[in-house]
Structure 1
Amino acid sequence: MSSLRFHQIKAFALGWLAYASTYFLRKPLGVIKADLQRDLSFSTSQLGFLDTALLLPYAVMQMILGPLGDKFGARKTFGFCLVLSGMSMVFFGNFSNFFVFFALLFLNGTAQSQCWPNCTKGLLCWFSDSVRNSVFGMFGTCAFAGGIMGTMIAVYVQANQGWQNVYFWPSIFVMVMGVLVLMMFQQPDEVQAEVPGKNSASPTKGTAADDSMEKPRMIDLWRLPMIPEVSFAVFCIKVVRYCMYMWLPMFLLQSLNYSQSMAGIFSTVFEIGGVTGSALIGFALDKFYQGQTLRGITMFVLISTLGLVFFILTSSWGVLFNSVFLFIAGAFNAGPDILLCGTVPTELVEKHNKNAAVATVGLVNGFGSIGTCIEGPIIGFVAAYTGWSGMFYLMIILSAMGTLSTYRAASIHARVNQSAADFIGNIA
C-alpha cells in the first residue's frame, strides 16, 4: 500500500468515525423529550427552546469562528472541539433544571460548530478534484449513520438505565475521539505529502480578486456567485432534516400511536435513507451530472419534497407506507445536504482562494443551520396550534423552496460557464 493511499484511508476512517460520534450528543435530546415533559413538567415550548440551545450556537459560531480552522489547522480545531463537546455533556443527567440544560446544550452546540468545516477540510485535501463528490458522498454517510447509532444507543440506555444516563457514555467516547483526532488527523502539508489532481489555481497576486480574498470577511464570501443561493437551500433542507431528527419520534408516538421504543427506533428510517442517499448520490453526480452538480441536486431535492407529500398523505396506511416514503424523503434530503455543505462551497471558493475553504463551508453550513436553531420553537408552536399535520405541511413548503433555490444556483452556474466558454471562443 502506497503512503498516499494509507493516509487517505486513515483520514477517511478517522474523520468518518469522529464526526459520526458528534451525533451521539445530538440525537438523545429527541429521544428523551417525552421523558422531560413527563418527569420534569417541561412544556412543548420549553422542549423547542432546548433545540434552540443546541442549534443556535452551532449555526452562529460556524460563521463567526469559521476562520479559526484556516488559522490553526483542521486537526487541532476539530480535535479540541470534540473534547470540549464531550466535556459539556458528560454530567447532563445529574441535573434537572431547564436553564442548566440550556447552558450545557449551548456549550455543546458551540463546540460542535467547528467540527464539520474542519472535518471537511481535513478530508478533502487528501483526494483529487475528479473524485470529490464520490468520496464526499460516501463520507457523508457518517452524519446519518451517526444519527442512527446515536438514537439506538439513547433508546437502549433510556430503556435500561433511564433518561438521565443517555449522555454519559457517548460523552466519554466523543472525548476519546477528540484525542485521536489531535494525534492522527494530519493534513498533507503536515506529513510532506503531495496529492495529485488537486486544483492549485489561484488569483494572480495583486489582482482585485486576490486583494479582496486574501483575508476574506464574511461579506466577501457572501458576495461570491451562487453562495447566497446555496446557503438558502441548505437553510431549507436543514430545517426539514432536523425537524425529523428532533420531532419524528414524538410524532410517531402521539399521532400514529407507536410505542415509545418503536417510535424511537422507527424514526431512524429517515436516517437509513440518508445513509443510502449520501453514499449513492455522490457517485450519481460524478457519473451523470459531471460539471452540473447543482442541476442534479435540484432534481434530488424535488424527489425528497415529493416523498414528504406522499408520507403525510399515506401516514394512516401503516408501517410499510410510512417506511417507504420516509426512506425516500431521507435519501434525497440527506445526500444534497451533505454535498451543499461540503464539496459545493469548497469548489466555488477555490476559484478565488483555496485557503478560505473552512470559512466558506462554515458560512454556508452556519447560515443553513440557523434554520435548525429556529425549528424548535416554530415546530413547537405549529404542533401545539395546528396539530402534527401542520408540521409536515411546513416542511413540504420549505423543501420546495430549497428546490427552487438550488435551481436558481444551477441556472447561475450555467450562465457563468456559458459566458466563460463564449469568451474563450472569441479569443480562439
Structure 2
Amino acid sequence: MGSLRYHQIVSFSLCWVAYASTYFLRKPLGVIKADLQKELSFTTSQLGWLDTALLLPYAVMQIILGPVGAKYGARKTFGVCLMLSALSMLPFGYFSSFGVWFFLLFLNGTAQSQCWPNCTKGLLCWFSDAVRNTMFGMFGTCAFAGGIIGTMFAVYIQANYGWRSVYFYPSLTVFVLGFLVLILFKQPEEVGIDVPGKGGDKLKEAQAGATGAALEKPSMKDLWRLPTIPEISTAVFCLKVVRYCMYMWLPMYLLQALNYSQSMSGIFSTVFEIGGVTGSALVGFALDRFYPGQTLRGLGLFVLISTIALVLFIATSSWGVVINSVFMFIAGAFNAGPDILLCGTVPAEIVEKQNRNAATATIGLVNGFGSIGTCIEGPIIGIVTAYTGWSGMFYLMIALSALGTLATYRAAVINSRINQSTPDFIDGV
C-alpha cells in the first residue's frame, strides 16, 4: 500500500505540473500580439489566423490521432508529445515570418492534442473508481492555474527579455517536464502494482470480455456510436464555447455594455476563471459524496446551475460589481467543473466497460469535438454582437449552456437504461 501511495502522489503531482505547463506554450501568443502588430505590422486578421494555427490542430488531431496513445501507451505518448511541443516553439523568436510561425504553431497544437487524453488515461489508472471524480476534479485545477501562471510567465519574460524570448524559456521548461514524464510516469502494470477498487466488479470483467473484440481497434466512427458519447461530446462543445467566450469577450462586454473602467474590466473578468478553479476542485468531491454511481445526473444539475447563474447575471447586470461577481463566480464554477469531468473521467468510465484500450481515443474524441467550439467561438460571437449587440452574446451563451444541460441529462438517462439492462447492451455493441 505504501508503494501504491507513493506512485499515486508522484503521478498526480507530475501530471498536474506537466499538463499545466502546456499553457506556457499557449498563452504567450496572446501576450505578444500587440508587439507583433507594432513591430512587424501584422494585421488583426493575421493575428487571428495564428490563433487558428494553434487551436484548430489541437481540436482536430485529438480525434484523428486518438489511437496513438492506445498503441504506444500513455507515458510514452504524453512525454514525447510534451517534448515535441517544446521543440516546435523553441526557435520561434529567431523568425519574423508569418508562414514559419503558422507552421510552428500548427506543430505545437498537433503535439499538444495528445497530451490531455494520455495524461488523463495514465492518471486514472492509479485511482479507484470510488474516488476518481474527487481526484480528477482536483487535477483539473491545473488547466486554469496553468493558464494564469503561463500568462504571468510570458509577461515577465516580455518585460525583462523582450517578446522574442517569450517562447524560449517556457519551451525549455516543458521539454524537461516531458523528459520527467518519460522516466517517472509509470503505469500500474509497468511496476507490478494492483490498484484496489479498480474495475469495480466481475460484471465489468464480463462486459469487457464480451465486447472487447468488437472494439479491439476502434475507429472514431465506432467510438462515436457508443451510447452517450455523442451526448457527452455535445455537452462539452457547449460548455467550452461558453467558457472561452467569457475568457475572450467578457472584459470588452464589461467595458462597453456595463461601463466598467478598463482596469476594473480586466480584474473582474478573472472572476469566471477563479470560479473555474474552485468548481473543478469541488464538483468532483460533491459527485463522489452525493451522487455515487450517478455522475451524469449530478453533472446535469451542476450545468443547470451555471445556466441559471448566467440568466441571473444578465438580469441583475445593473446592480453593481458585488452581485455581478457572485453570479459570474457561480457560472464559472459550474461550467468549468463539469467540463473537466465530462472530457475526462466520464468518457473513460463509459468506454472502459467495453475496452480499456479505447479509453484514450474516446477521451480524445470527446475533448477534440468540444475543442472545436474554441476555434469557432470568435467568429460566432463577432457576428452575433454585430447584429444584436452585447445582449445577444449572453442570450447565445445561455442557450448553449441550456443545451449542454439537456445533452448531459439525456446522457444520464441513456446510461441509466444501459445499467438496468446490461445483457441487452452487450448484445447490441
Out of 415, 418, 421, the residue aligned to residue 417 of structure 2 is 415
Q: Which amino acid aligns with 1:193?
A: I
The answer on 1:379 being equivalent to 2:399 is no
Separation in structure 1 between the aligned mates of residue 128 and residue 409 of structure 2, nearest angstrom: 27
The answer on 1:239 being equivalent to 2:241 is yes
Out of 346, 352, 356, the residue aligned to residue 348 of structure 2 is 346
**1:193-204 counterparts in 2 under 5 A?**
193-199=193-199, 201-203=204-206
Q: Which amino acid aligns with 2:296?
A: L
Give the corresponding residue for 1:84.
84
Q: Contact 2:208–2:352 (CA<8 Å) still a contact in 1?
A: no
Inter-CA distance 334–373: structure 2 relative to 1 (3 Å threshold):
same
Unaligned 5+ runs, structure 1: 424-428
Q: Contact 2:234–2:407 (CA<8 Å) still a contact in 1?
A: yes
Give deviations 1:211-241, integer Å, cap 9, x for gaps. 3111111111111110110011111111122
**1:9-408 counterparts in 2 under 5 A?**
9-33=9-33, 36=36, 42-158=42-158, 163-199=163-199, 201-203=204-206, 207=210, 209-249=211-251, 251=253, 256=259, 258-259=261-262, 266-315=268-317, 317-383=319-385, 386-408=388-410
Q: CA RMSD in A?
A: 2.8
Q: CA deviation at 1:254?
A: 6.1
Q: Contact 2:86–2:174 (CA<8 Å) still a contact in 1?
A: yes
Inter-CA distance 93–257: structure 2 relative to 1 (3 Å threshold):
farther
Unaligned 5+ runs, structure 2: none
Q: Contact 1:202–1:353 (CA<8 Å) still a contact in 2?
A: no
Give deviations 1:337-384, integer Å, cap 9, x for gaps. 111011110111111111211011111111111111222333344455
Separation in structure 2 between the aligned mates of residue 391 and residue 159 of structure 1, nearest angstrom: 34
Q: Percent identity?
A: 75
Inter-CA distance 43–315: structure 2 relative to 1 (3 Å threshold):
farther
Give TM-score, length-normalised by structure 1.
0.89
Q: How many residues align?
A: 421
Q: CA deviation at 1:162?
A: 5.2
Inter-CA distance 408–214: structure 2 relative to 1 (3 Å threshold):
same
Q: Which amino acid aligns with 2:14?
A: L
Give TM-score, length-normalised by structure 2.
0.89
Inter-CA distance 295–44: structure 2 relative to 1 (3 Å threshold):
farther
Q: CA deviation at 1:191?
A: 1.2
Inter-CA distance 419–157: structure 2 relative to 1 (3 Å threshold):
same
Give the corresponding residue for 1:426.
none
Separation in structure 2 between the aligned mates of residue 36 and residue 380 of structure 1, nearest angstrom: 22
Q: CA deviation at 1:258?
A: 4.3
Q: Contact 1:66–1:359 (CA<8 Å) still a contact in 2?
A: yes
Task: Please identify, of 325-334 and 156-165, the stretch whose mean Cα deviation from structure 2 is larger.
Answer: 156-165
Separation in structure 1 between the aligned mates of residue 290 and residue 273 of structure 2, nearest angstrom: 25
Q: Contact 2:208–2:355 (CA<8 Å) still a contact in 1?
A: no
